[in-house]
Amino acid sequence: MDITDCILSGFAIYCNKIQHFYAPLGNRAAAAICKEESPMKRNFIAKRFQSAGTGLTLDTAALAKYKDIVDLSIGDTDFTTDEAIINAAFRDAKAGHTHYGDPKGDPELISAVCKAWEEDFDQTLPRDHVLVSASSCLGMSLAMLAILDPGDEVIVFSPYFALYRAQIELAGGVCVDVPTYAEEDYAISEERLRAAITPRTKAIIFNNPTNPTGMGYDLSTMEMLARVAKEYDLLIAADEIYTTYIYEGDFRPIRTLPGMAERTITLNSFSKNFLMTGWRVGVIIAEPEFLDVMNRINGSLVYSAPSISQRAGIQALEMRKEIREKYVTAYRDRIFYSADRIEKIPYLSLVRPKGTFYLFPGVEKTGLDDKQFCKELLERAHVLVSAGSPFGKTGANHFRIACTVGIDQLKEAFDRMEKLEF
């Protein structure tokens, strides 16, 4: 008997012992220990999740592959949360704010939200109209789960934030794209909107200012949406998380228009406006009957937003004007610098932004689709951006730039892009 036979013989004896040991489990289970056999024959993943997702994720493989990469792909603010906010959170943590809080939100934070809303927008906001959530992203999901029955339709304006479709479909709804076009400066067409409304339409998601295009919508557009919503008895889910980053005029929430408070669910967040992306705290403003349902749903998910993050939010609201003065200018400088550079690159097109820190250039002149272009840009220039296709039908043939790096890095990225030919 050679060494191989000895090993095989020993393994056989071992398997026999294992099978004997696990005999109470049954022959099939015991055999599975010694054989590469799985008793699982079904696909246990829910059918709606068996296809590949289209959401935005950080391309960690690309970041690891290129040492000199310029990452313009993810909208995570590069500034650290203001030191005063961090210090306030630590102070409150040491004072004992480390426990479960009220599922509806820290009472002091809710008071601060109401006070800031009334001061900034001259509209009374009752306390029972506010629910604190663990991010506005969760807030939108809660809103969809609360209002949608299977087959209900929700209108979104394409290009739209890539997760809207998933949030609608997770709640059993149907996502209905109403296109906006670069050649029309992404204006929302009342005619196209009305044509999309059916008896199953329940809500419209309105993002202002917008991710990914950087558009900001004026009062006339909001008045049109309000008129349509009231005529067809629809809800507006208002995604207003970039309200600090308005570069033309002042921001006005659609909730403040006459007759819109009762039919608007407003999603707000500390992530972008206060440079608190990792703290995961947002705010939902709506009628109490909506919030009661959302709170019930939230109880089975996360129960409540992080206590320490909510305490940080109180400090953030107290110093909101200072925050805006300190950081918004930097992002304004970056986005308009980037717009100027893009307009000088012959193979790109651009609608100049009015808000946020995103740009959405077109790549039609390259002859490539958006995914191919992004691949080429990564491989040839080591610049990482987000393809436009996940942002809806009219996102195709575009890509998104997040101006969340400094001017020096933006300059390096555009210098590299200018050298490319297509």
pTM: 0.87
How far apart are the C-alpha atoms of 319 and 75, rounded to whole Å?
Answer: 23
How far apart are the C-alpha atoms of 234 and 154, rounded to whole Å?
Answer: 10
- Residue pair 168/140 in contact (Cβ under 8 Å)? The answer is no
Query: In the chain, what percentage of residues exceed pLDDT 70?
Result: 88
Instruction: Kindly give the interhelix angle for 407-418 and 320-342, rounded to the nearest 10 degrees.
Output: 20
pLDDT in tens, 225-267: 999 999 999 999 999 999 999 988 889 999 999 999 999 999 9
What is the per-residue pLDDT for 74?
Answer: 87
3-state secondary structure of 363: coil
Q: Which residues of 361-396 are buried (b: 16+ CB within 10 A; e: fewer)?
A: bbbbebebbbeebbeebbeebbbbbbbbbbbbebbb
How far apart are the C-alpha atoms of 326 and 110, rounded to whole Å?
Answer: 25
Return the domain boundaries, the chain: 3-34, 60-80+322-418, 97-319
Helix (H) or strand (E) holding 267: strand 264-269
How far apart are the C-alpha atoms of 233 and 360, rounded to whole Å?
Answer: 33
- Please state whether the peptide bond connecting residue 159 to the residue before it is cis, i.e. omega within 30 degrees of 0: yes
How far apart are the C-alpha atoms of 58 and 45, rounded to whole Å?
Answer: 24
How far apart are the C-alpha atoms of 313 and 320, rounded to whole Å?
Answer: 10
Q: Which residues pair with 402 in a beta bridge?
A: 358
What is the per-residue pLDDT for 169?
Answer: 95
Burial (CB count within 10 angstroms: exposed 0-12, middle 13-18, buried 19+), residue 83: exposed
CATH number of 60-80+322-418: 3.90.1150.10
Q: Which residues contact 160 (CB under 8 A, 6 or more apart)?
A: 177, 205, 207, 210, 391, 392, 395
Q: Which residues contact 205 (CB under 8 A, 6 or more apart)?
A: 140, 154, 155, 156, 157, 160, 164, 236, 237, 239
Residue with tokens 């080591």: 382
* CA end-to-end span of the chain: 68
Residue with tokens 């030919």: 421
CATH number of 97-319: 3.40.640.10
Would you give per-residue pLDDT tens digits along the chain (422 residues)? 444 444 344 434 444 443 444 444 444 544 444 445 567 788 888 887 777 655 555 566 767 788 899 999 988 888 899 999 999 999 999 999 999 989 999 999 999 999 999 999 999 999 999 999 999 999 999 999 999 999 999 999 999 999 999 999 999 999 999 999 999 999 999 999 999 999 999 999 999 999 999 999 999 999 999 999 999 999 999 999 999 999 888 899 999 999 999 999 999 999 999 999 999 999 999 999 999 999 999 999 999 999 999 999 999 999 999 988 888 899 999 999 999 999 999 999 999 999 999 999 999 999 999 999 999 999 999 999 999 999 999 999 999 999 999 999 999 999 999 999 99
Q: Which residues pair with 157 in a beta bridge?
A: 178
pLDDT in tens, 155-212: 999 999 999 999 999 999 999 999 999 999 999 999 999 999 999 999 999 999 999 9
| 97-319 matches 60-80+322-418 in CATH topology | no
- The four Cα atoms 373, 375, 379, 380 give a dihedral, to 10 degrees, of 0
How far apart are the C-alpha atoms of 229 and 282, rounded to whole Å?
Answer: 25
3-state secondary structure of 218: coil
How far apart are the C-alpha atoms of 211 and 209, rounded to whole Å?
Answer: 7
E-assigned strand segments in 104-234: 130-133, 153-158, 174-179, 201-207
What is the per-residue pLDDT for 6?
Answer: 44
